[in-house]
């Protein structure tokens, strides 16, 4: 564990203890994308008597599929980079996603603690991991599905609720992995998808099933058209990728926009205060 993570350890232990005291019935809707809305969580009191606002800041804890890229990477983009376009001006999106991180390394590097230092009642934490957790050959990133599930439970869901904010579990977005036998795209990281869905149900947390939504979207496009969603670029097409690239994991701008739309469309059906801030274009 890194020194940063060790320094934040005592604070996280406090948060987990507070979260345990809250019990399984604390704020958060049982999330099933596009299903009937669950009851909205009640506002939690903040230190000093401040109540939770109806809308607030959406923080994103995730990896390179969601991160914000500088102009030097154009047209590469992450879905978190485009998410604010699908919410009203009442909502601020703060994207803390960064490439190469797993659910575990994001914690160990102090990145989750940095979010918890500033998150407040009325805010939301969207958490999507799985791509790097599944890299068995990389000891810094690899996180077994059972451990991934417990990190989501304790560090992302319960500790966030202990601060009066609302966690939203997002299943890992699909890769461009096509199965010629079935004529459909494969489920990416199925063990992690299942773990995320299970812990969201067990904890009564809001769930955005981006794995299913993105796969259904790709199925509708087909294998060739899906190249325009992912970072498939020809040599000379863009100055930032002079030799071209064939990347089945990361998105170009159109793909990031579409994935952000799928996330926000699912949020609209969760019955959260945030759900009412999704703009109509998300339903397209």
Rounded percentage of the chain residues whose pLDDT exceeds 90: 79
pLDDT at res. 4: 36
Q: What is the pLDDT of residues 92-114, one digit of tens each?
A: 999 999 999 999 999 999 999 99
For the chain, how far is it from start to end, CA to CA, in angstroms? Answer: 44
Q: Where are the domains of the chain?
A: 3-22+30-283
Question: For residues 213 and 215, what is the distance between their CA atoms, to the nearest angstrom?
Answer: 5
Contacts of 97 (CB under 8 A, 6+ apart): 60, 61, 62, 63, 64, 65, 66, 67, 68, 78, 80, 128
Give yes or no for residue 118 having a pLDDT over 50. Answer: yes
Question: For residues 135 and 283, what is the distance between their CA atoms, to the nearest angstrom?
Answer: 34
pLDDT at res. 124: 99
Question: For residues 43 and 46, what is the distance between their CA atoms, to the nearest angstrom?
Answer: 9
Residue with tokens 């294998």: 223
Burial of 45 (0-12, 13-18, 19+ CB in 10 A): exposed
DSSP string, 163-177: TT-EEEEEPPPPPS-
Looking at residues 20-31, what average pLDDT do you find?
A: 31
pLDDT at res. 283: 76
Q: What is the pLDDT of residues 139-153, one digit of tens each?
A: 999 999 999 999 999
State both tokens at 108: 């160990």
Burial of 122 (0-12, 13-18, 19+ CB in 10 A): buried
Parallel, antiparallel or unpaired: strands 245-252 and 184-185: unpaired
pLDDT at res. 282: 76
Give 251's strand partners: 77, 230
CATH superfamily of 3-22+30-283: SGNH hydrolase (3.40.50.1110)
Q: What is the pLDDT of residues 34-83, one digit of tens each?
A: 222 222 333 333 333 333 445 799 999 999 999 999 999 999 999 999 99
Cis amide bond preceding 75, omega within 30:
yes
Question: For residues 278 and 226, what is the distance between their CA atoms, to the nearest angstrom?
Answer: 26
Give yes or no for residue 256 having a pLDDT over 90. Answer: yes
Give 147's strand partners: none
């Amino acid at each position: 564990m890194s020194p940063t993570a060790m320094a934040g350890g005592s604070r996280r232990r406090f948060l987990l203890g507070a979260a345990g005291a809250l019990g399984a019935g604390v704020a958060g809707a049982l999330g099933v994308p596009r299903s009937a809305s669950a009851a909205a969580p009640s506002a939690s009191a903040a230190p000093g008597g401040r109540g939770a606002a109806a809308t607030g800041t959406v923080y994103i804890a995730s990896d390179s599929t969601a991160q914000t890229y500088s102009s030097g990477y154009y047209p590469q983009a992450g879905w978190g980079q485009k998410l604010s376009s699908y919410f009203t001006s009442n909502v601020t999106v703060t994207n803390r996603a960064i490439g190469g991180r797993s659910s575990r390394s994001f914690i160990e590097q102090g990145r989750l603690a940095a979010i918890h230092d500033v998150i407040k009642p009325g805010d939301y934490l969207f958490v999507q991991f799985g791509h790097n957790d599944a890299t068995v050959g990389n000891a810094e990133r690899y996180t077994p599905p059972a451990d991934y599930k417990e990190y989501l439970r304790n560090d992302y869901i319960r500790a966030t609720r202990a601060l009066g904010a609302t966690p939203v579990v997002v299943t890992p977005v699909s890769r461009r992995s096509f199965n010629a036998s079935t004529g459909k795209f494969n489920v990416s990281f199925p063990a992690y998808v299942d773990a995320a869905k299970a812990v969201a149900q067990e904890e009564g947390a809001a769930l955005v099933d981006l794995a299913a939504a993105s796969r259904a979207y790709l199925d509708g496009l087909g294998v060739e058209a899906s190249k325009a969603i992912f970072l498939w670029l020809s040599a000379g097409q863009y100055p930032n990728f002079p030799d071209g690239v064939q990347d089945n994991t990361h998105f170009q701008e159109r793909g990031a926009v579409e994935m952000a739309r799928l996330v926000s469309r699912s949020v609209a059906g969760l019955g959260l205060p945030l759900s009412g801030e999704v703009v109509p274009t998300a339903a397209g």
